[in-house]
Amino acid sequence: MKKQNLNNSVRKILLVVLGVSALLFSLQCLAQDDNHKSTAIWEPVPVVVTPGVGTAPPSDAIVLFDGKNMDEWESTKGGPSKWKLGDGAMTVVKKTGSIRTKKAFGDCQLHIEWRTPAVVVGDSQERGNSGIFLQERYELQVLDSYNNKTYVNGQAGSIYKQHIPLVNACRPPGVWQTYDIIYTAPVFKEDGTVEKPAYFTVLQNGVLIQNHVEVKGNTVHSGQPHYEKHNPKEPIALQDHGNPVSYRNIWIREL
């Protein structure tokens, strides 16, 4: 009789303990849920962008060159581009001058594909030299840097004379290569001084080569770079450095 009473008491105690544990667990879950709700943000909802297949432009990109015409480009000397159009590419024609976009851009994501000549002529800076000038001032170097010694702050993927690329991710001459560029435009104060400098992040053939590097000013061949105030949006230019470098599949997303 005594033993049965004892068993009943133990059972009751166990039930109370279980009940209290379940209650505490529920309260903890509610608290966690409240905590989650206080940090979950529902708006604004990001705009839907349909990605391109491979390196094709995403749905919100502005196509600057699709291989069919050079309508988005003009010569920096004035008038239409005199570069050669063919095989889905546009190719530098020596001494016709650099070309630039008719539209102007500030902060952007730029995809561009380039190819240096398969037949190697010259060395160092005279081999497959061209360049992509963001806002017509800040050069991301294009060069055949596949087994081609030159000063490292002037090799392919350098922010010319300012930043050495993290690695050399070059493909051989004659092979198409990609640059994916994230560019932040500089901001100037009223008096022309710099409020915020420009920045480059660049992937070459999918490999990070510039990681949010600060631009020191206009690209210059000699001397030290310095900023000169310009419009928030300026064209993108491609350099005629006298070598028949080709470009294709150019698209941009304004940020």
Minimum distance, C-beta of residue 113 to Mg ion, in the bound complex (Å):
17
Among the residue ranges 38-46, 89-97, 203-211, 237-245, the one whose residues contact Mg ion (CB under 5 A) = 237-245
162: left (phi over 0), alpha (psi -120 to 50) or beta: alpha
Residue type, 180: D
Among the residue ranges 38-46, 47-55, 164-172, 238-246, the one whose residues contact Mg ion (CB under 5 A) = 238-246
Minimum distance, C-beta of residue 102 to Mg ion, in the bound complex (Å):
22
Nearer to Mg ion, 129 or 135 (CB): 129
Nearer to Mg ion, 129 or 145 (CB): 129
Nearer to Mg ion, 129 or 184 (CB): 129
Strand ranges for 116-238 from DSSP E: 130-134, 138-142, 177-184, 187-188, 194-196, 199-204, 207-214, 237-238
Among the residue ranges 42-50, 100-108, 175-183, 234-242, the one whose residues contact Mg ion (CB under 5 A) = 234-242
Burial 232-242 (b: 16+ CB within 10 A, else e): eebbbbbbbbe
Minimum distance, C-beta of residue 139 to Mg ion, in the bound complex (Å):
6
What are the residues whose beta carbons fall under 8 Å from the beta carbon of 35, sequence distance 6 or more? none
Supply the DSSP symbol for 31.
H
Among the residue ranges 79-87, 166-174, 224-232, 236-244, the one whose residues contact Mg ion (CB under 5 A) = 236-244
Nearer to Mg ion, 130 or 184 (CB): 130
- Identify residues 113-172 at the interface with Mg ion (CB under 5 A): 129, 131
97 binds Mg ion (CB under 5 A): no
Distance between CA 220 and CA 238 in Å, rounded?
Answer: 16
Minimum distance, C-beta of residue 129 to Mg ion, in the bound complex (Å):
5
Compute the chain's Rg from CA coordinates.
29
Nearer to Mg ion, 161 or 216 (CB): 161
- State the residue number with the nearest CB to Mg ion: 131
Distance between CA 19 and CA 30 in Å, rounded?
Answer: 17
Other beta carbons within 10 angstroms of residue 49's beta carbon come to 11
Nearer to Mg ion, 61 or 127 (CB): 127
Site of interaction with Mg ion (CB under 5 A): 129, 131, 239
